[in-house]
Copies of this chain bind each other. A is one copy, B any other.
């Protein structure tokens, strides 16, 4: 800057004003600066600007390291952040649960704070996030937007699929298909995605006379084929409608049913719930609910930027994106 100022014959301040944009410069001065800066390929130093202004433009994004579905969420986030002149500082958490992952999240948040990020978008490892590391975030008033999995113990903005409504719709679809003896395959109560879908499903079932349901609880979202198979062993046709809270579970169930020669959808209707965003419309062959990850990402980014600008402490925002029912032939018409 000094060099440009000298070359043009003005003070550094005038050059600074030129790059800040909003100043009143004489047209000729501005043009001279532009030319000289161009000649020197000068680029303003945003790190310094960040330091001076307290606004780094950096948003920390913390996701699980197997991106899968979150790859599309991430694309939505990055696109929106970049549009508005902000930056995506990406951190990935390896491992899904347990104290190690929480420890890792904690280290990550410290790194981000040291970089003076202006906000964090986080897919939490689990719901047990009353943990220490939020004190860091809270005490510094760093805006936090949580996606996909809700936190029980910390009030933060949330953006994600409307899992409860999805669960309700799932029940309605199966019942509309004529199913009356329903099976709910869930995936552990400590993950809100599973819990909310299950809750919505059960609530809807209860609202219908003559419809019953049982619940098979699986430890995670893996196929769990053996467990499902064991459960169906005695009487594979005990149910005429099955809802699995995740597509991968649904896949496990599909294989178990096929192995037992159950005809789908004639004897049993099977319904999954999409977490399988394979990018190019690749899906498992099970009727399911498509989520809208890019939309979730965009909303999360908008949300965090609003928080970062207005320092007003309005009450937490809850933005739910509906899932879309997508028939793929495993539910009776």
Give the interface of A toward B (CB within 8 A): 41, 43-48, 50-51, 56, 61, 65-68, 71-72, 74-75, 78-79, 82, 87-92, 94, 108, 110-111, 113-116, 136, 139-140, 248, 278-280, 282
Contacts and interface: CB of A to CB of B under 8 A. Distances in A.
A114 B45 contact: yes
A75 B67 contact: yes
Given A67-B75, A88-B90, A47 B56 contact: yes
B56 A65 contact: no
Contact of A65 (B41, B75, B92, B280): B75
Contacts of A116: 45-47
A68 to B, nearest CB: 5
Contact of A91 (B46, B66, B67, B82): B82
A74 B61 CA distance: 14
A45 B46 CA distance: 14
Contacts of A115: 46-47, 87
Contacts of A65: 75, 78-79
A41, A75, A108, most chain B CB atoms within 10 A: A75
A211 to B, nearest CB: 34
Contacts of A92: 74-75, 78-79, 82
Nearest to A78: B92
Given A45-B51, A46-B114, 6 more contacts: A47-B50, A47-B51, A47-B115, A66-B280, A67-B71, A68-B280
A211 B121 CA distance: 56
B78 A90 contact: yes
A116 B87 CA distance: 13
Contacts of A282: 278, 282
A264 B61 CA distance: 45
A90, A278, A280, most chain B CB atoms within 10 A: A90
